[in-house]
Structure 1
Amino acid sequence: MSHSPEKNPNPELNPKPPRSISLPDIWFKEKRVLKHVIHKMRAQSLSATPSLSPPSEPDDSLHPPAPDFISLLSDELLLIILSKLPINQHVSNSLVCKRWLSLHGRLVQSLELTDWSFLISGRVFDRFPNLTDLNLVRACIRTPRNSGILVTSRALSLHVGADKGPSPNGFCFISGELDDVFVLPSGSVDRGLEMVAGKCRNLRRLVAIGASDNGLVTVARECDMLQELELHCCGDLSLKGIYGCQNLQVVKLIGSVNGFYNSVVTDIGLTLLAQGCRRLVKLELCGCEGSYDGIKAIGQCCQMLEELTLCDHRMDGGWLSALSFCGNLKTLRLQSCKVIDSSPGPDEHLGSCPALEELHLERCQLRDKQSAKALFWVCETVREIVLQDCWGLVDEVFGFVSICRRVKLISLEGCALLTIGGLESVILSWKELQRLRVVSCNNMKDSEITPELASLFFVLKELKWRPDSRSLLSSSLAGSGVGKKGGRFFKRLKH
């Protein structure tokens, strides 16, 4: 029988043999020491400075960055791709990187400048090197940025400070000269235009205010491709500068705006414009003076003129008869005119526009029966007539429209004094009428429609009948085919 040896209760008397140190032991031991050292160094840095230490950079060897394939594309190819994106995404795309910011600037061609220093410093040309459409009006008008008072007209809108009240001659004009508080002096504007002319040789459209002939001469000499020009607060002398703009096709002259500025454009300026810009196709005159001679010069020199707009004009009596010199005029617009022609003269001296197709009257005073008759006499060849919110358009005045016997479309909106009888007396005499639009003419009632007028409704290609909110004819005509030639008409019409 064998006996197992008894264990010694004292471990020191039976020591275990030493074990050899392995590589993991050395690694974990050194790692623990390294962590302790890093912890001590971080504690010392935090105690020395209160700011937080920057985060450790990721190890690129463990997570390599994804390859940037876009950087391999050329600028020309990337420009084509960015140009296909919606315009509302261009600004956000420009924030991706500096390269995309530069490419975005090359895509921008139209700009409305608001900071004049951005132009004078030249940064605008570095940021947007391919500008073809530039608006300088807001940059030339110095207004308080924190003002909540916005003064608006059809041609201009600006913010006005509460401490700056209107002057006797307007917000921006004092004693016939531009108020330096609001608008830059003409010398500064001219220097800006010289920079624009030197940097933007491909400029096609320019909008400026308060410029003199010196700045405009430089633009005319350097920008050969300029086709559209809009000038605010311009006078006769300023128009000397655009004499050399041989390729101008669209011109808008804003001479005077009530409450803003009061410059003067007369027959002298209109004659300079006509002789220098013979390729005009569209001309708009806002707040301009003139007479028979100025309109005649435009008609004789600008033989390609197709559209003429007069807004709040201050023309002398007799200017209507000069329209007969506009041989290719197709569209005539009168807007916000207090009087059409104070002294049109006899009918046999008026003449007519042989190529005129459209006549638009918006917010005009038609109380003068003689001038209204003269206007329709000059426009006797017109095919489309649009009357919108015109004051004084009673049945008798509307009866002069019957002079125009070739009308195919008549549109009436906001003619509160016109009645069914006045409308019927005119449109029943037109044999070529195809389209009729009546909107917001409260004096016309469905119950007053006669069988003759109803028969005319039947053969029209287009009918829009909404004289007031109580009109039931529009809903009753739904699905009946009225307004479509060849359709069936309702059987019974209430009187």
Structure 2
Amino acid sequence: MSPNSPDRKSGSPKRSPPPVLPNRPRPLSLPDQALKHVIMKMQLQNHLNSLSPSTASPSPHYEPDLSSTFNSLTLDPPAPDSTSLLSDELLLRIFSKLPISHYLPNSLVCKRWLYLHGRLVNSVKLFDWGFLDSGRVFARFPNLDDVDIVHACIRSPRNSGILVTRKALTVHIDSLFSPNGLIEESDVLKNSVVDHGLRLIAQSYPNLRRIAVIGASENGLVRIAEECQILQELELHCCGDLVLKGISGCRNLQIVKLIGSVDGFYRAVISDIGLTILAQGCRRLVKLELCGCEGSYDGIKAIGQCCQMLEELTLSDHRMDGGWLAALPFCGNLKTLMLQSCKSIDSSPGPDEHLGSCPTIEELLLRRCQVRDQHAVRSLFMVCEAVRDIVLQDCWGLVDEVFAFASICRRVKLVALEGCSLLTTGGLESVLLCWKELQRLRVVSCNNVMDSEITPALATLFSVLKELTWRPNSKALLSASLAEAGVGMKGGRFFKRLKP
């Protein structure tokens, strides 16, 4: 029935609805106009390809009228945003179930998702000080509890392809090397600037649990201690003794890492004075790591007497005076002792009757340490005679005579040796047979330990172990693998079929 035909019931003609006036289109910006032009060109090309051959192949003098075609082409309207109907709380619950690796791509969808994902981030490592000083970090990430501003406090060329890592610090440097080191004093922000950033962090993140900073003074740390009452982990670079007064108010600190000096980067002095201040102020320490710190018997003794909950002590590249080993027995709850990159263990450990022992220690780890001093190694094993696990990795000077002192420890259950190239099979066997409770053994990249020198007694010990990892000689392992594959047999296996 046509629109103007009379209605069957009334007989009167049906009026057509009034025409709907189109809304005035919004003026397109330059990128929108370019995008519309590209889409129209693509749709026009598809339209011409769909025509018949006679129409699609006009004569050379034929000029098609494209105005009507362009007028008929329109842009598809954007799809409706279904997530706009969901509340922020519901979207946060959905985003929290996704893997962390999806946070970054999802935050690029729209501004709302960017803001919501910022509320899910709890840990940030800053590289731009302006991001902190301007306050943008607080708006972007309002719920942080872990902040690392070490790299932001160092002026370094971010576009440099030279990346230098030393101990716990990694920085970008340029090709101009300074005789004063890779980081000069002017490359680190002033104490007043760093303290201002710490005040901003303390005001915005009262629930802060971990912070890492370099070049801070006592005033900045005092502000952190006052505002962040539940701070549990602290990492300080390039700090001196008096700076540690600022963290005496952090009563809930459990993990502290102090980096005093790093060769080629910076140098600061942390002596017995600083260690005593730390011990008296932070009595709930559970884990302490000292990198490039000085000290002696008195500093370690103060830590042991005040921090009775201390379970793990790590010394990296220490500059301790002789005799500090004798203070370890004051750490009555110590369970793990780790020495890393130490040029010497103890230059003067003293007589054996003054050493004592740690009855609660369970793990002893030495990594990249020089163990040529037999007296120091012997004193170390005497202090740690109750140890259960011994791990030695890439230790220089570990010959059979030095490793023999490990037999002082009679309760060893796990031994891990890696990169000990001077140790022989005989020296290893003489110590392993002394440990009656040994359950796990790991020997990797110890090139002087040969499979052909394994005795029946050592083989019997291997058969009763719960766990055995035996890769002492990489060359022998490679030769065995090649022999099984037939490589190195002068082509006997590969060219056998070619022989007449």
- Aligning the two structures, in what range does the TM-score lie when normalised by the shorter sequence? 0.7 to 0.9
Over residues 187-207 of structure 1, what are the superposed CA-to-partner deviations in whole Å (9 max), with x where a residue is unaligned?
A: 100110011001111111100
SS of equivalent to 1:229: strand
* 1:194 matched residue in structure 2: 199
Structure 2 gap ranges (5+) = 6-32, 41-69, 482-500
Q: What is the CA–CA distance in structure 2 between the aligned matches of 1:450 and 1:86, rounded to whole Å?
A: 52
Shift in CA distance, 64/412, structure 1 to aligned 2, threshold 3 Å:
closer
Counterpart residue identity of residue 162, structure 1: S
Matches within 5 A, 1:397-408: 397-408=402-413
- The normalised TM-score by structure 1 is 0.81
Query: Could you tell me whether the CA contact under 8 Å between 2:36 and 2:75 is conserved in 1?
Result: no
Do residues 72 (structure 1) and 77 (structure 2) align?
A: no
Q: What is the CA–CA distance in structure 2 between the aligned matches of 1:144 and 1:455, rounded to whole Å?
A: 59
Shift in CA distance, 63/172, structure 1 to aligned 2, threshold 3 Å:
closer
Q: What is the CA–CA distance in structure 2 between the aligned matches of 1:474 and 1:341, rounded to whole Å?
A: 41
Q: CA deviation at 1:167?
A: 2.5
* 1:356 matched residue in structure 2: 361
Q: What is the CA–CA distance in structure 2 between the aligned matches of 1:303 and 1:108, rounded to whole Å?
A: 35
* 2:183 matched residue in structure 1: 172
Counterpart residue identity of residue 87, structure 1: I
Structure 1 gap ranges (5+) = 1-21, 24-50, 174-178, 477-495
Do residues 395 (structure 1) and 400 (structure 2) align?
A: yes
Q: Which of residues 107, 112, 132 in structure 1 aligns to 2:120?
A: 107
SS of equivalent to 1:262: coil
* 1:491 matched residue in structure 2: none
Root mean square deviation, CA, Å: 2.5
Q: CA deviation at 1:151?
A: 1.7
Counterpart residue identity of residue 431, structure 2: V
Q: CA deviation at 1:162?
A: 1.7
Q: Which moved more, 1:119-128 or 1:145-154?
A: 145-154
* 1:328 matched residue in structure 2: 333
Query: Could you tell me whether the CA contact under 8 Å between 2:388 and 2:412 is conserved in 1?
Result: yes
Equivalenced residue count is 419
Q: Which of residues 327, 343, 348 in structure 2 aligns to 1:343?
A: 348
* 1:319 matched residue in structure 2: 324
Q: What is the CA–CA distance in structure 1 between the aligned matches of 2:182 and 2:470, rounded to whole Å?
A: 43
Do residues 143 (structure 1) and 156 (structure 2) align?
A: yes
Do residues 440 (structure 1) and 421 (structure 2) align?
A: no
Q: What is the CA–CA distance in structure 2 between the aligned matches of 1:342 and 1:465, rounded to whole Å?
A: 34
Q: What is the CA–CA distance in structure 1 between the aligned matches of 2:76 and 2:213, rounded to whole Å?
A: 56
Q: Which of residues 442, 447, 468 in structure 2 aligns to 1:463?
A: 468
Do residues 369 (structure 1) and 374 (structure 2) align?
A: yes
Counterpart residue identity of residue 430, structure 2: S
Counterpart residue identity of residue 293, structure 1: D
Q: What is the CA–CA distance in structure 1 between the aligned matches of 2:34 and 2:220, rounded to whole Å?
A: 58
Q: CA deviation at 1:450?
A: 0.9
* 1:431 matched residue in structure 2: 436
Do residues 183 (structure 1) and 196 (structure 2) align?
A: no
Q: What is the CA–CA distance in structure 1 between the aligned matches of 2:428 and 2:353, rounded to whole Å?
A: 27
Matches within 5 A, 1:46-57: none
Do residues 309 (structure 1) and 300 (structure 2) align?
A: no
Q: What is the CA–CA distance in structure 2 between the aligned matches of 1:194 and 1:459, rounded to whole Å?
A: 60
Q: CA deviation at 1:280?
A: 0.6
Counterpart residue identity of residue 89, structure 2: E
SS of equivalent to 1:261: coil
* 1:218 matched residue in structure 2: 223
Q: What is the CA–CA distance in structure 2 between the aligned matches of 1:66 and 1:361, rounded to whole Å?
A: 61
- The normalised TM-score by structure 2 is 0.80
SS of equivalent to 2:415: strand
SS of equivalent to 1:257: coil
Query: Could you tell me whether the CA contact under 8 Å between 1:296 and 1:325 is conserved in 2?
Result: yes
Counterpart residue identity of residue 329, structure 1: L
Counterpart residue identity of residue 84, structure 2: S
- Is the radius of gyration larger for structure 1 or structure 2? 1
Over residues 116-175 of structure 1, what are the superposed CA-to-partner deviations in whole Å (9 max), with x where a residue is unaligned?
A: 011111111011100111000111111112322222112111111223x2334x2224xx
Identity of aligned residues (%): 71
Q: CA deviation at 1:470?
A: 3.8
Shift in CA distance, 300/63, structure 1 to aligned 2, threshold 3 Å:
same
Query: Could you tell me whether the CA contact under 8 Å between 1:350 and 1:378 is conserved in 2?
Result: yes
